[in-house]
Structure 1
Amino acid sequence: MTRALDIFRALGDATRLRILQLVRRMELSVGELAQVLGQSQPRVSRHVKILCDAGLLARRKEGSWVFVALGQSDAVAPVAAALDGWAGEDHWAVADTARLQAVRADRAAAAATWFESHAGEWDAIRSLHVAEEQVEAAMAAVLGEEPLGMLVDIGTGTGRMLELFGERAASALGIDRSSEMLRLARAKLQGRGNTELRQADLYKLPLADGGADVAILHHVLHFAEDPAAAIAEAARALGDGGRLLIADFAPHDREELRERDAHVRLGFADEQVAAWCDAAGLMMARVETLGGSELTVKLWLARKAGPALKKVAAA
């Protein structure tokens, strides 16, 4: 009864209801919530604290930014079901949706501008972050000798992952939003008969459900405005037993990467990635940590939880 009272008190404010509905769509920073709501950051922070205290939201500090995600599922799920059941015409919801789309567009535009202006330096920039040959060797070890089948490299950039693993695949597809990146990838991969490059969005992969056997997100997730949605879309494209390999950074405090290199997120914790994979129907199979530099690289390998894997997990 006490918890129920805390939840109802927390939701007894129109702004807090709006915040909860916005965060149900995607993780947002406090600054972005303030932008969507048209309120000051201190005021939004107070509302967020009340929702966090009730277990409906959770805060995660990344450098100077604080990101807000959904809280405990046993608190959020019944509230979400009630809100969906009561859904109707709401001018605030319509306005918030429009402003949220603008926030997402701003994020995407900033990243696209950076990619276009740095396309020629992309491989060199990656090598500055961490020893790329070490990452590539670890990725090869994690994928092992199992056939790759249909391989999709999401956010292929200059095509390095296709160059590295494409010959082991029956067919390979690299997708990227940047036409300049794809131009460089085509020059690098010319003559590869089993490889296709397409301009597309990582949230709308040009693949049928279950069309891929292996998907790679190599140093892509920290540029994504909605990492959970990117993982969910990759999972949709994988067939039962298909594998998703994510290479990205562990949490860090290199704040300058937001401005200099257009990073949206300053790394990811194991539990974050595991929760996103679980929500997308993926089972975490392996986690590797590659330290030795200012930025630690993590590898997460997850499998699509088809009927056979579910039986093994339940045994």
Structure 2
Amino acid sequence: MTEPLDIFRALADATRLRILALVQRMELSVGELAQVLGQSQPRVSRHVKILIDAGLADRRKEGSWVFVALGPDLVVAPVSAALDAWGRGRLDEWVAADLARLAAVRADRATAAAAWFEAHAGEWDAIRSLHIAESQVEAAMAAMLGEAPVGVLVDIGTGTGRMLELFGERAREAIGIDRSSEMLRLARAKLHDRANTELRQADLYRLPIGSAQADLAILHHVLHFAEAPDLAIAEAARVLGPGGRLLIADFAPHGREELRQRDAHARLGFSDEQVAGWFEAAGLASTRTETLEGGELTVKLWLGRRPGARLKEVRAA
């Protein structure tokens, strides 16, 4: 447990107060913090380390980037409440200037995301042209999940964060996981204003989440990239608590061999029997399957559920 003295020592510096105010609004890389603060990266890194040692901040390495986020709510919430009370709603001139520069950082992220999509539009369009419109896939997923609120949502292989964008608002906590730091930067550009959303870089075979912590996990057009889809499903099932659900959207078996070379597809679709067998091995019951035809590739939805009462029902009892 962090000592109160360490917390107050960490806060006894204007730059560290400014950093705390910034990461309250969105996760930022050390480079972005340096850009907003107008200071060198080594100097900002030293300030960040002091905040981390005090439990007020956390850092995650994604490729060559290091992102800074708020620390545990147990430590940060009382500090934020105190700062808000002492400030009585007034916006410090330094904070106001920082927020203006933060808006520029957000704009830079959005511009980079748009440029990336423009450069890769042909690749995305080539795949999408082979199957039913993605809007219809998303509508079918929403119908399958229903409108009930979700406790903890985990989007595995989140990519640009589309599933978090669609379903994150109904969750108390939404976690997006991807191995690609580039994809996570794109997701951050899209989801920077979602207070309940967290993005983490990790492998789908080793999720950075404890067992039985999630209510819903999603694998949206991810499984065909997995060399060991059975292990990916087993790992997704591990993080689900009683009553937790796993929704998979992927392709039915097909013969488009060129997708292996052109788009790095490890598997050319999955049968209902395969997925049902993997669900059973992972301790999940197959509850619903849907087929979405309308192109050269058929999209399938599979929903599995861990037996037992849902996590939110258990916590409420």
TM-score by length of 2: 0.58
Matched residues in 1 for 2:126 and 2:188: separation? 19
Q: List per-residue Cα deviations over 1:251-274 (Å, max 9, x = no partner).
A: 000000000000000000000000
Q: Percent identity?
A: 72
Q: Number of aligned pairs?
A: 193
Whether 1:198 and 2:200 are equivalent positions in the alignment is yes
Shift of 1:134: 0.5
Aligned to 2:290: 288
Q: Distance in 2 between matches of 1:144 and 1:117?
A: 31
Q: Could you tell me which residue of structure 1 aligns to residue 7 of structure 2?
A: none
Return the offset for 1:149.
1.3
Please say if 1:154 is aligned against 2:156: yes
Q: Would the alpha carbon gap of residues 119 and 182 (structure 1) be closer, same or farther in structure 2, given more than 3 Å must change?
A: farther
- Counting only pairs closer than 5 Å after superposition, residues 85-104 of structure 1 correspond to structure 2 as none
Against the structure 1 CA distance between its residues 123 and 136, is the aligned structure 2 distance closer, same or farther, given a 3 Å change threshold?
farther
Shift of the alpha carbon at 1:123?
5.5
The answer for the alignment partner of 2:244 in structure 1 is: 242
SS at match of 1:149: strand
What secondary structure does 1:260 align onto?
Answer: helix
Q: TM-score scaled by structure 1?
A: 0.59
Distance 2:266 2:117 in 1: 17
Pair 1:185–1:124, CA change in 2 (3 A)? farther
> Cα gap change, 1:302/1:227 in structure 2, threshold over 3 Å: closer, same or farther?
same
SS of equivalent residue, structure 2 residue 203: coil
| Counterpart position of 1:127 | 128
Q: Which runs of 5+ in 1 are unaligned?
A: 1-115, 309-315
Partner SS state of residue 205, structure 2: coil
How is 1:79-90 mapped onto 2 (pairs within 5 angstroms)?
Answer: none
Q: What's the counterpart of residue 256 of structure 1? A: 258
CA RMSD of aligned residues (A): 2.0
Q: Does 1:183 align with 2:185?
A: yes
Unaligned runs of 5+ in 2: 1-115, 311-317
SS at match of 1:241: strand
Aligned pair in 2 of structure 1 residues 228, 293: CA closer, same or farther (>3 Å)? Answer: same
Deviation of the 1:307 alpha carbon = 7.3
d(CA) in 1 for partners of 2:273 and 2:119? 32
Q: State the Cα deviation string for residues 156-178 of structure 1 (Å, max 9, x = none).
A: 00111001111111110000000
Report the structure number with the largest CA radius of gyration: 2
- C-alpha distance in 1, partners of 2:228/2:119? 23
What do the CA deviations read for 1:281-308 (whole angstroms, capped 9, x no partner)?
0000000000010000000000012379
Separation in structure 2 between the aligned mates of residue 256 and residue 210 of structure 1, nearest angstrom: 39
